[in-house]
Amino acid sequence: GTKLIASMGLLMVALVAVVASVNSSLLQPVAAASLAFDSAADAQLSTQTPNTPNGADIKMTACGTGTPVCSVDNVNEKRGLVKFNVSGVTTRIVSAKLRFYVANKPVPALQIKQTTTTSWQESTATWNNAANLPTTPATYTSPAGSVVGWYEVDVTGAVPGNGTFSFMFMNSTSTATRIATKETTTKPQLVLTTSDQTPLDGMNTYFGTTHVHTGGFNDHGDDTSSPADIFSTAKATGYNFTVLTEHSGSTGPTDGPAFYADAQAQAAAYSEDSKFIGLAGYEYSDNGGDGDTDNGHLTGWGTQEFLSASEPGNDFNAFYNTMLANKNVGRPVFGGFNHPEATGHPASAASFLTPERRDFMVMSETSNKVAYDSTLEAQYYQGFVAELDRGWRVAPTCGLDSHGLFGLQQVESATKKPCRTGVLATSLTKDSLLDAFMQRRMYSTRDMNLHLSYKVNDAWMGSKVGTPTNAAFNIAVSDPDTAAAEDNIKKIEIIGSGGAILASQTFDAHNVTWQPTIPVGANKYIFARVYNGERTEHTAVGAPVWFE
């Protein structure tokens, strides 16, 4: 039996994410749907009865966190716990909203945390055993309001896929905020929106960054963040994967090996299959003036050593030779060109190219940094094409290149267009992700959730396809932000050797496909480039296929 609540408890939600602002509009209840999950359990926690379970109540009250005490019952504090079981998700989650019904007014802003422990039970949860469950660093703040009704909080980063998720509601004011529980008709809901891109032949798209730094272990950080902070923030913010690439050189950690060991340990600790994969490599930062003339930054991953570019004798060849020496350590070894010059990265010069090095150098940045700079983006793209023309087999990536937590926390705005690397993989596991890197199934995008996938002659982007006469493309591009006209796909181009435009097709929709057949001719490679309505320049660049 369900009743409309006269007095409802505040729902305390513990969430893995960065402090997030929320839409303050009052909402209508969401009808039950395949991606709307009612709470599986909820509980009132109160210092008034610290050892008494209150899971069967029709309300959860939140108040009194911090200095003020609750206005009701004169107790110090009340919190609410809620838990959801998510299942049946088969594509990427692009939005997660926690909705709850408040039965009294006014409604202060609530602080919501995601608990890392989800094993608590409604029938046994009390203040003493559940109020201080461990939580993720992020705090989500709900909107304040003046009316009774539905409110929502954007918790997108906290729900990466199927699983059980637990949230704690707190209230730093004395106003007792009463939230309806699952014992009512207005039970809490977790509402998910998934990409309209379905898995293609078993592949899914995962978004992350292949180049990010801590704030505390280089000489130009924005904060004092550690490897643990980087991975926890990336996981909380909704990244599917993050590659930590701290400087290895004069600008990096004073004890490189110790840092590297900790970074790898933290990457493993925060990794969770189907939710988030952390990887720890380094940015070989050869800045010149250290006994050699080489000057440029390279991503390295998989080596046993944290190779310092500032040690005597360590130049680009030292980096390449170390990577080759580590090819049999029991895991893949890969590298990449970071923020190349318009003529290509200095380490991509023809004198450095060998078949063995070509095999493990898998990526080059066509996007870099949080803020969008059309001049720099053009430079990186030109450098990428120059590297391809030189004979390197690299896929395009985005490196945030931020030095601290700010870049990971940045949301898309009119002036900030944080880029992403999209990876096509069978599943979100470390092995599957590494395989996708080595197979070069990647693309860079200045839109945080633009999906790009294609095959050429039935081979995935990033493949070697032999020497056919024609290249038959099957391209799918989509953006789940269907309410944003600027996210419409406007044009797709097919690019060949030298950056030549071989074909072009215009569109004006959020979900498009295109199947052009292109004569191969003298082209050594071919790839797709995508434009949306956000800018006149391209938004996304896909991995080539190579005719060999």
Tokens found for residue 351: 């004198």
Instruction: Indicate if 472 and 496 belong to the same structural domain.
Output: yes
Task: Reply yes or no on whether the pLDDT at 413 is more than 70.
Answer: no
Residue 138: give its domain's CATH number: 2.60.120
Is position 27 within any domain? no
Residue 441: give its domain's CATH number: 3.20.20.140
Cα–Cα distance for residue pair 258/156, rounded to 1 Å: 34
Instruction: Indicate if 323 and 367 belong to the same structural domain.
Output: yes
Closest by Cα among 303, 297, 363, 298 to 333: 303
Is position 110 within any domain? yes
DSSP 8-state assignment for residue 22: -
Residue finishing a domain among 173, 194, 215: 194
pLDDT digits (tens, 9 = 90+) for 37-83: 999 999 999 998 999 999 899 999 999 887 678 877 777 899 999 99
Cα–Cα distance for residue pair 394/335, rounded to 1 Å: 10
Provide the domain limits for residue 227: 206-449
- The pLDDT score that the predictor gives to residue 19 is 29
* Residue 344 region by backbone torsions, left for phi larger than 0, else alpha for psi between -120 and 50, else beta: left
Residue 495: give its domain's CATH number: 2.60.40.1930
Higher pLDDT, 346 or 95: 346
* pLDDT bracket for residue 282 (50, 70, 90): very high
Closest by Cα among 495, 339, 473 to 419: 339
Is position 99 within any domain? yes
Instruction: Indicate if 220 and 330 belong to the same structural domain.
Output: yes
Instruction: Indicate if 425 and 498 belong to the same structural domain.
Output: no
Instruction: Indicate if 404 and 458 belong to the same structural domain.
Output: no
Instruction: Indicate if 444 and 479 belong to the same structural domain.
Output: no
pLDDT above 70: percentage of residues in the chain: 90
* pLDDT bracket for residue 34 (50, 70, 90): low
Instruction: Indicate if 251 and 186 belong to the same structural domain.
Output: no
pLDDT digits (tens, 9 = 90+) for 448-492: 889 999 999 999 999 999 999 999 999 999 988 888 889 999 999
Instruction: Indicate if 109 and 242 belong to the same structural domain.
Output: no
Lowest mean pLDDT among 156-165, 244-253, 372-381: 156-165
Residue with tokens 């954007």: 154
Q: What's the total number of domains in the chain?
A: 3
Task: Reply yes or no on whether the pLDDT at 1 is more than 80.
Answer: no
Higher pLDDT, 289 or 217: 217
- The pLDDT score that the predictor gives to residue 290 is 58
Residue finishing a domain among 449, 474, 493: 449
Instruction: Indicate if 381 and 433 belong to the same structural domain.
Output: yes
Mean predicted confidence (pLDDT) in 366-390 = 95
Instruction: Indicate if 438 and 302 belong to the same structural domain.
Output: yes
Cα–Cα distance for residue pair 197/442, rounded to 1 Å: 16
Task: Reply yes or no on whether the pLDDT at 201 is more than 80.
Answer: no
Residue 84: strand pairing partners: 165
Cα–Cα distance for residue pair 532/269, rounded to 1 Å: 37
Is position 10 within any domain? no
Task: Reply yes or no on whether the pLDDT at 12 is more than 70.
Answer: no
CB 100 within 8 A of CB 58: no
pLDDT digits (tens, 9 = 90+) for 73-128: 777 899 999 999 998 877 667 778 999 999 999 999 999 999 988 999 999 999 99
- The pLDDT score that the predictor gives to residue 20 is 31
- The pLDDT score that the predictor gives to residue 483 is 83
Cα–Cα distance for residue pair 398/517, rounded to 1 Å: 28
Task: Reply yes or no on whether the pLDDT at 160 is more than 90.
Answer: no
The distance from CA 338 to its chain's CA centroid, rounded to whole angstroms, is 19
Radius of gyration of the chain from Cα atoms?
25
Is position 200 within any domain? no
Tokens found for residue 167: 């949230």
Residue finishing a domain among 139, 162, 194: 194
CB 7 within 8 A of CB 178: yes
Is position 13 within any domain? no
